[in-house]
């Protein structure tokens, strides 16, 4: 993708996703994800209905009038976006590939965080950490994240979710809001996720295509594993072959649901031909 085409694509995504975050997700994001706690703001005269536990006895004694401490939410948060850039991201049979939907979702979340003056960081992963962008604020930083999501070329096509979560735990010492975007065709990450979810607010967004869920009966077909590059002749006329694949796929989805739910993390299922706007909004409203 040349520079002119890339900038055009970045601008197009910015216009679309910024409009969504401005008009739909800004308030929902703010009410869903709270700050780190309450911080002292000021002291003022006691008013009827104020909580007596907030009375500042030192100021009250000095002025002979009751005063209360006023606290406000310490709003600033850090959002970490984690995107799976392994080979399977290029799958897509409808209007868009999975990686295009992932980019739009990530951009929408990033602009929502920007509205609240939060920092945003990015981790791109395969079976290794492909790219880490430390959290920063601002529009130009979000645009850089969008550019990387659009044009980054990973070294590996495989997936290791556990390694990505371990890296997150190592680099993020303070609590962060984490959105992990992947098809989650993987396993062996339950324990790592449980540890990380004890510290961070994690949501797994499973992005998938409906044609991944089952193999149609179309006879003998040559298929390529996007993650290994291996070419295979698959007899899709075989009922057992189709059943084995369906079981494999459902097992991975069940593992994803079980791992995230039991660790206290959130989940969103987003099919490429469905509205991710409705999915995100519904999730925020349920959590708000």
Residue-wise pLDDT for 183-212, tens only, equals 999 999 999 999 999 999 999 999 999 888
Q: Which domain holds residue 50?
A: 38-73
Average pLDDT taken over every residue of the chain: 87
Q: What pLDDT does 235 receive?
A: 86
Residues 53 and 188 in one domain: no
Which has the minimum average pLDDT: 169-173, 206-210, 211-215? 211-215
Cβ neighbours of residue 46 under 8 Å, at least 6 residues apart? 55, 60, 65, 66, 67, 68
Are 64 and 189 found together in one domain? no
Shared domain check, 126 and 54: no
Both 192 and 270 in one domain: the answer is yes
- Evaluate if residue 143 carries a pLDDT over 90: yes
Which of 24, 50, 73 marks a domain boundary?
A: 73
Range 61-89 average pLDDT: 83
Q: What is the pLDDT of residue 26?
A: 64
Whether residue 65 is predicted with pLDDT greater than 80 in this model: the reply is: yes
Query: Does 207 lie in the same domain as 141?
Result: yes
Q: Looking at the structure, do residues 61 and 201 belong to the same domain, yes or no?
A: no
Q: What is the pLDDT of residue 94?
A: 52
Residues 141 and 55 occupy one common structural domain: no
Both 43 and 120 in a single domain? no
* Residues 161 and 276 occupy one common structural domain: yes
Residues 46 and 186 in one domain: no
- Confidence at 4, pLDDT banded by 50, 70, 90: confident
């Amino acid at each position: 993708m040349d520079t002119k085409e890339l900038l055009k694509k970045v601008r197009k995504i910015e216009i679309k996703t910024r409009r969504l975050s401005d008009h739909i997700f800004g308030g929902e994001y703010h009410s869903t994800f709270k700050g780190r706690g309450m911080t002292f703001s000021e002291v003022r005269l006691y008013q009827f209905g104020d909580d007596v536990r907030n009375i500042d006895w030192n100021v009250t004694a000095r002025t002979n009038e009751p005063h209360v401490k006023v606290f406000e939410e310490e709003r600033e948060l850090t959002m970490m976006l984690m995107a799976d850039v392994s080979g399977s991201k290029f799958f897509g049979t409808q209007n868009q590939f999975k990686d295009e939907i992932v980019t739009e979702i990530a951009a929408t979340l990033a602009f929502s965080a920007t509205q609240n003056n939060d920092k945003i960081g990015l981790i791109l992963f395969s079976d290794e950490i492909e790219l880490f962008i430390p959290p920063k604020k601002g529009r130009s930083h979000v645009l850089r994240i969008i550019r990387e999501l659009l044009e980054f070329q990973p070294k590996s096509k495989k997936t290791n979710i556990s390694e990505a979560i371990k890296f997150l735990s190592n680099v993020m010492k303070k609590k962060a809001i984490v959105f992990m975007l992947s098809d989650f065709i993987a396993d062996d990450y339950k324990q790592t996720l449980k540890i990380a979810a004890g510290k961070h607010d994690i949501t797994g967004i499973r992005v998938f295509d409906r044609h991944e869920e089952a193999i149609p009966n179309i006879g003998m077909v040559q298929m390529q594993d996007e993650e290994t590059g291996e070419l295979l002749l698959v007899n899709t006329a075989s009922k057992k072959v189709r059943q084995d694949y369906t079981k494999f796929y459902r097992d991975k989805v069940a593992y994803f649901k079980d791992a995230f739910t039991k660790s206290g993390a959130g989940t969103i299922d987003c099919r490429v031909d469905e509205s991710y706007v409705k999915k995100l909004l519904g999730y925020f409203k349920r959590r708000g």
